[in-house]
Chain A
Amino acid sequence: MNELDTPADLGTPTLSELEAEAVHTRPAFGEHAHILCDNLVRIYKTEGVEVVALQGLDLLIEEGELIAIVGASGSGKSTLLNVLSGLDVPTAGLARVAGTDLLSMTGKDRLRYRREIVGFIWQQTARNLLPYLTARENVKLPSRLAGKRARTAHADELLDLLGIGYCADRRPGELSGGEQQRVAIAVALSNSPEVILADEPTGELDSESSEQVFAALRQANRELGVTAVVVTHDALVSEHVDRTVGIRDGRTSSETLRRASSDGEIIAEEYAVLDRVGRLQLPRDFTNALDMERRVRLELERDHIGVWPDKPRPEGAE
């Protein structure tokens, strides 16, 4: 029940009560979240046709979290990542990363944001690194671009941390795909960002390399406390994160939380996402199985809400 809707039977509030209520600030939605997307909309206009890539997406990510975002092709996950990385500007809504409002950034803010707050990794291994620089030089590049003194020791530390210290003097052409992606992670971490974003970082890799790359990501997350958001198709990856957010049709549709049980087994629980106005996406499998279309019937029970297809209930179904 909303606090403002004071029921009449509790009596009319006094003026002082109302004043106290007015000055009392409630915590806003996701106020303390490290990454906040509230009702995010992104529309591409193409020759008179509008493509709605994000249609009111809500997402909260806490500091130091490692989450995976999964979704079918065209569901909007890359658009979300582009918005979070500051490469794209949403059409409407709210997007905030580490206290920076992504909608109201000036060009200068955007540059500072890229230099200090985010680091990211693309799917194409070749695209992450300059082919004519060594791994170490690649790692030092962001610092130099930001006009800071690029410390070789720091670069080497990062490479060592990710288990590729031996690659420091090699050029990308001399590295395997997995090594390249791990160097890319080191590059993304080079400016000590608060958030790293990875777009299908293991998309081009075999499973063994994938595992190494993902281990490196997790290593960075654990050791450096950096918040990591990974867009992936890879089931292997999504199984190794604390939380997996599913995106469908430009909205977050489901979340899978994983926790270790008392006997050390990982228990995954899938949740549907209920947004702030009470919308809920039912998994397509569920709706298909029960042949649900257009309308459903809801029934409020004591501890849950029942959802029934809009057809006569078979006799004795209860």
Chain B
Amino acid sequence: MNPFLLLRVHRGAATLLALLALSASLLVAGLPRGFEASYDAALHDIMRGSPASLTDVVVRLQPMMFQQNLKSEAEFTGKDRIFRAGLPPALTSVLDTGPGNDSHFAAKTFGTPVGGRVSGPDAPAAQYVELGWLSGVDKRVRYVAGGPPGPPAIVKSVPGYPNLKDVKRFDIALAKSASDKMKLPVGTTVVLGNSRPALARVTGLFEPVAPADRFWAHELNSIQITVRRTDADTEEQHVTALTSEASLRQLDNDARDLNYSWVIAVDSAAVDARNAPAVIQGLTEFQSFLTRTNAGSITNYQQVAGFAGFDLDTALGLILGDFLKRLATAQALLFLILGGLVVVAAGVLALAVQLMTERMRSALSLARARGASIEELVRAVVGTVGLAAVPAVLAGYGLSYLLPGPVTPIVHMAPLVITLITLAYAGGRVAVVHRKPLQERRDDIAARRPSPRRMTLEILVVAIALGGAYLLRDRGLTTGVAALGADPFLMMVPAALTVAVALITLRCYPYPLRLIVWLAARARPAVPFVGLTLAARARSVTALPVLILLPALAVSVYGSVVGATLDSTQRRAAWMATGADARVDRGAELPADVIERIRHVPGVRTVVPADRGVLQIGWGGKTAIGFAVDLDAYRRIVADTPLAVPPAAPDVPPPAVPVLVSPDLAGLTSFEVGWHVRMNLVKRGVITGGLAGLSFAENNLIVMPYDASKRAGARPYTNTLLIEGDGIDGAALRAAAGNRPDILVSTFDEALAKVDKSPLTSTITSSFVVVTIALAVYALLTVIIALVVGAAERARALSFLRTLGLSERQAASLTVLEITPLIVLTACAGLLLGLALPPTLGPGLDLGIYAGDLSIQAYELSLTTPILLAAGLAAVAVAGAFLHAVIGRNRSLGSILRVGE
């Protein structure tokens, strides 16, 4: 039995098998790559979006004793070497060691006020100038005036400051922009500090060569000033000036508060979804290394009192931890759909193998009868199937390398598993079928009874699946993943549930069919009766298609339910965030001209003004959040959104103000509050659950009419605008508001984009689409292959009927009728399973992080999409049956009757 010859003879089936193997291999090797690539892209987005000061590893020291003072760059380098030697390998591998990386050391003072100016213009405000030495800064700045700072000097006396004698004078360089704002031109000398002061002379002004350089994220205060408002009118200006390395000798913790830092640059491209857990672990190890170093450096008793140790300062662990939490959910979801895809792909491959072995069946039976051992048959079939499938799997595996994405073990494993399943199925099937050669010939009289062994096995599978589903609900799929890793048993639960439902469907499938056959038998037309009877008797065709169609549908429906829920929750989150199509907020009152300009922004239809603030209840210290808005007007502008607005409080005679209060204030019936003016409020209703979209507060909330202040004798105030309209451009609104930083403009579209464009969300939705399409194609193929497998037998049955007067059209409808009950019943089971999966897995799979942190309470059972999917898939499958019947129609009756003779 030469496999090459068999391959040539059965080239049609072999080609189909090869194509399926190729596509399955490409999908199972390519999709994980795509998933990994998108995980990495998401992480890199997050890493790039975070400033270097958060993602780099920084070791800080605030020296408390003179022994801890570092006097030269060499000393910093020495410490740096120790730190780097103590870095665990997981961290070493993600460090940025390339040219121009932002690793550096810094020594900076902090909290140094400018005590006065010796020379130069007057200070515009209270100022703080810190002295800072940054290693390697010379290459990162360009001097636009003066020159780099020189070594420090001792000044005998300072004009205008008779108390100052023999003071240190540091040369400093300032960023040009800082110098302009703080009025510190070259030549200015200032007194730093109030106690034990020193002088600082501005010798140069610089501009950063590349302000966007990650280096400057750590030293932002050196290239721009920070303005701190202490009260309404006074400002403090803070800046860190650069000084020379020589100044390190004179900078000590004695006179000034000092901070040392060692920045160890992390290459954000080197951190990916796979090494992130190791990096987090590495940070913990590094932290304990620093603790050990600190403990080791305490050598005497006095040191303990004033000791300050090295601190690890990085948000890398937090960022990665947060990402991993999101990732776990995404991975669980994608694992589910990938698992479904693998099950379906393997099923279709098995079906193609079945087609091939059916084609070889007579030859194999002959060979078996002529003295071939089972091993020889298995070898021949496995060889042939292998010749067809293995090169195709390899090709698919190779093609997957064209897709972007890192290579993970699953990329190698999945095609291997596909190959093994295919070959094992081929070999196993042949061995079982030809173990007893006569069995096939007596198929006609010996109907197999369900064996107790098989029943037990099936009951066991169903029990395990149900038990797993219970555990999954109980323990969750993603809880503790970071600590314990994903539980493979729980990950298998959806697949097990699918198999369980498929088994139940297979067992129960004849019962509804029997009823239909009973009805059909009483009807006049013969075709439905014969077709349905054929369907009821079909054995070989049933099991595999059910096992394929069911997960295909379940996964698609599950995907659509999850997708719809995610979408609606994201929209709800976006509505909650803005409360209207657009919203303008300001801490203080919005000027009337701004409101007027906003009314004229294109797209704006209605503007509902509102006022929000903290009001004082009675004369005591109790406060509440007050919201003055015309609820009826607001309800009109959010009529078509998920936001529910309570009815406005029934009116009361002025000057009293009717209000709605949160339940905790329900005890107050008539009370006085202080806001813009003192007001008398009358409680006319209670609102529970806060004011969705406007205020997240559920307690201490008082909602009053917009004109409440006016009733109380003042004028209405406005600090919030709720805007309704179409296609409102956030930028246009901002421009209308004067692009002022204190006016906050948000639009629904922006809020939605922020939620649904968040990393990984698009991966999840697009993966569902890809997998659903692949599954639909597989479902179509399943039906066609299943029909082709039984084609010879059916053709004979049909041709006998045609000799009795069955028309071609009736023959085609017979084929369709034969397969339809299976498809329809499986579609129903798949639909139910798909709808049942989200609530079953729901508690175990927290999608909240993809929905703007709004927890998903209940899955949206909008039945339209799932039913359309099920109907579509069923229609596609039935169309496949029809196609098969139509193609079969072209054969002549004579040729069909000879089939199988």
Contacts and interface: CB of A to CB of B under 8 A. Distances in A.
B446 A45 contact: yes
A154 interface: no
A129 B367 CA distance: 9
Contacts of B369: 85, 87, 114, 120
A142 interface: yes
B446 A44 contact: yes
B interface residue count range (under 10 / 10 to 19 / 20 to 34 / 35 or more): 20 to 34
A142 B369 CA distance: 9
A27 B445 CA distance: 41
Interface stretch (B370-378, B612-620, B885-893): B370-378
Contact of B370 (A51, A88, A114, A132): A114
A145 B371 CA distance: 6
B438 A88 contact: yes
A218 interface: no
Contacts of B438: 82, 87-88
B665 to A, nearest CB: 78
A124 B441 CA distance: 14
B442 interface: yes
Nearest to A193: B371
Interface in A288-311: none
Contacts of B366: 127-130
A8 to B, nearest CB: 53
Contacts of A191: 371
Contacts of B523: none
Given A88-B438, A132-B9, A145 B370 contact: yes
A204 B901 CA distance: 11
Nearest to B371: A115
Nearest to A187: B370
A145 B446 contact: no
A3 interface: no
B5 interface: yes
A interface residue count range (under 10 / 10 to 19 / 20 to 34 / 35 or more): 20 to 34
A141 interface: yes
Interface string B1-41: 10001001100000000000000000000000000000000
A285 interface: no
Nearest to A82: B438
A111 B5 contact: no
A46 interface: yes
Contact of A142 (B371, B374, B437): B371
A142 B447 contact: no
Interface in B410-449: 437-438, 442, 445-447
B446 A130 contact: no
A87 B447 contact: no
Given A47-B447, A51-B445, A111-B373, A145 B5 contact: no
Nearest to B368: A114
Contacts of B370: 114, 119, 141-142, 145, 187
A145 B1 contact: yes
A128 B366 CA distance: 7
Contacts of A72: none
B445 A44 contact: yes
Nearest to B446: A46
A47 B448 CA distance: 8
A282 interface: no
B372 A145 contact: yes
B732 interface: no
A114 B442 contact: no
B362 interface: yes
Most chain A CB within 10 A, of B1, B371, B442, B446, is at B371
B227 interface: no
A146 interface: yes
Interface string A112-130: 0011000110001011111
B363 interface: yes
Interface string A124-144: 101111101100000001100
Nearest to A128: B366
Contacts of A128: 366
9 contacts: A44-B446, A45-B446, A85-B369, A114-B369, A114-B370, A130-B367, A132-B5, A141-B367, A145-B371
Interface of B: 1, 5, 8-9, 362-363, 366-367, 369-374, 376, 437-438, 442, 445-447, 901
Given A129-B366, A132-B5, 20 more contacts: A44-B445, A46-B445, A46-B447, A47-B447, A51-B445, A82-B438, A107-B374, A111-B371, A114-B369, A114-B370, A114-B371, A119-B370, A130-B367, A141-B367, A142-B371, A145-B1, A145-B367, A145-B370, A146-B371, A191-B371
